[in-house]
Amino acid sequence: MEMYNPAHPGIILLEDWIKPMNFTISAFALRIGTSRKNLSEIVNGKAGISPEMALKLEKVFNNSSSQFWLDLQVQYDLWQAKQHVDLSNIQAIAM
């Protein structure tokens, strides 16, 4: 089932995981072995969750899978693409 305007996974990471655990961005970045800048870009929706980051999140949370994080990112990216990609000149191929 496709979501309507899904939240950026960085927002979910911040609101549902980092804030409830009372971590600062700096402290959480240190814990997962990334820079504060990189984590800040993710939680502010300016960068996506990479496969490497998904693995780090899986390890640190121990109850979320890397696939969960990547699925959130794909849903977000696909919805965004559907809003901006012009497909009007593309013809389907009859199989």
What tens digit of pLDDT does each residue of 33-72 get?
999 999 999 999 999 999 999 999 999 999 889 999 999 9
Other beta carbons within 10 angstroms of residue 10's beta carbon come to 24
Specify the CATH number for the domain of residue 32: 1.10.260.40
Q: Does some domain include residue 25?
A: yes
Q: Does some domain include residue 67?
A: yes
The mean pLDDT value for 78-83 works out to: 95
Give the global pTM. Answer: 0.89
- 41, two tokens: 């870009």
Is the distance from CB of 66 to CB of 75 less than 8 angstroms? Answer: no
Q: Does some domain include residue 40?
A: yes
- Tally the domains of the chain: 1
Q: Does some domain include residue 90?
A: no
* SS3 sequence of 15-39: HHHHCCCCCCHHHHHHHHCCCHHHH
Q: Does some domain include residue 20?
A: yes
Q: Does some domain include residue 14?
A: yes
Residues of the domain holding 30 = 9-75
Query: Which of 50, 7, 48, 57 is CA-nearest to residue 29?
Result: 57
Residue 60 CB contacts under 8 Å (≥ 6 apart), including other chains: 31, 32
